[in-house]
Homo-oligomer: A and B are copies of this chain.
Amino acid sequence: MREIFEAELKQIGDDLVAMSRRVEHAIGAAGEALLRQDLALAESVIADDLAIDALERDLDERCVLLLAQQQPVATDLRVVVSALRMSATLERMGDLARHVAQVARARYPHPAIDPALTGVFTEMNDAARRVAQRTTQVLTSHDLTEAEGIERDDDLLDSLHEETFRVLLGGTWTGTPQQTVDVTLLGRYYERFGDHAVSVARRIVFLVTGDFASETRTR
């Protein structure tokens, strides 16, 4: 019984890693589509999001079956419940990558990002990619230094997000309303991406250390 449980739990962990790898790929591709006006890449991110959604459904179904058949308690139960929540978070990260790709597609062949902000969004995209890679790492290895790296990159995303507002609201911005709308939404998508990664990281820290405060700290 215990062996079956361990095997199924390992499968759930592998599924989370597979979802996270897809999210990692999606955010990288979405950023490239955005910064290089790559329509085909944007289309592929949008289409592939359905696969991430399907992985979430499969993973959730697996978790519910595991709860029903193995009736885990204590830490085992918390691991399964955390997996359910992390799959929802990863799915949401996939949605955000899709939203970025949709902006890139809507503006094609023009760039959605005004030259005044290309540098900031290049940095945001780099930070988001790192956050996604670290999320896969933390799910794979439960390495808490990766979790700390996610917190740092999330702080960086927050300050880059504030930087977008400084550019938009500093009095020298001459972009069109469409450009203002795009920067506002894209900035928010990237900022939320960091929040979601932090949520996954804190759940892992909680599972590894039992430090509940780290999971529930108010953001």
Chain B residue nearest in CB terms to A215: B57
Query: Would you call A169 and B178 a contact (CB within 8 A)?
Result: yes
Which of A8-16, A63-71, A120-128, A134-142 is near enough to bind chain B?
A: A63-71
- At the interface, yes or no: A209 with Cβ under 8 Å from chain B? no
Least CB distance, A167 to chain B, in whole angstroms: 9
Q: For the complex, would chain A's binding face be called helix, strand, loop or mixed by DSSP majority?
A: helix
Least CB distance, A99 to chain B, in whole angstroms: 10
Which of A22-30, A78-86, A145-153 is near enough to bind chain B?
A: A78-86
Query: Would you call A67 and B88 a contact (CB within 8 A)?
Result: no
Which residues of chain A in 50-73 are interfacial with respect to chain B, using CB atoms and an 8 Å cutoff?
Answer: 50, 53, 57, 63-64, 67-68, 71, 73
Query: Would you call B77 and A67 a contact (CB within 8 A)?
Result: yes
Least CB distance, A162 to chain B, in whole angstroms: 12
Whether A77 touches B68, Cβ cut-off 8 Å, given contacts A177-B168, A181-B168, A181-B184, is: yes
Which residue, A78, A165, A168, A181, has most C-beta atoms of chain B within 10 A? A181
Contacts of A88 on B, CB cut-off 8 Å?
Answer: 85, 88
Chain B residue nearest in CB terms to A76: B68
Query: Would you call A165 and B180 a contact (CB within 8 A)?
Result: no
Which residues of chain A in 70-119 are interfacial with respect to chain B, using CB atoms and an 8 Å cutoff?
Answer: 71, 73-74, 77-78, 81, 84-85, 88
Query: Would you call A67 and B67 a contact (CB within 8 A)?
Result: yes
- At the interface, yes or no: A47 with Cβ under 8 Å from chain B? no
State in angstroms the CA–CA spacing of A181 and B169 once bound together: 9
Contacts of A68 on B, CB cut-off 8 Å?
Answer: 73-74, 77
Extra A-B contacts (16), CB below 8 Å, given A168-B181, A177-B180, A180-B181: A53-B218, A64-B77, A67-B67, A67-B77, A67-B81, A68-B73, A68-B77, A84-B85, A165-B181, A168-B178, A169-B177, A169-B178, A175-B177, A180-B180, A181-B184, A184-B185
19 inter-chain pairs at a CB distance below 8 angstroms, sorted by A residue, are A63-B81, A64-B78, A64-B81, A67-B67, A67-B77, A67-B81, A68-B74, A71-B71, A84-B84, A84-B85, A85-B88, A165-B181, A169-B181, A180-B184, A181-B184, A184-B184, A184-B185, A185-B188, A188-B188
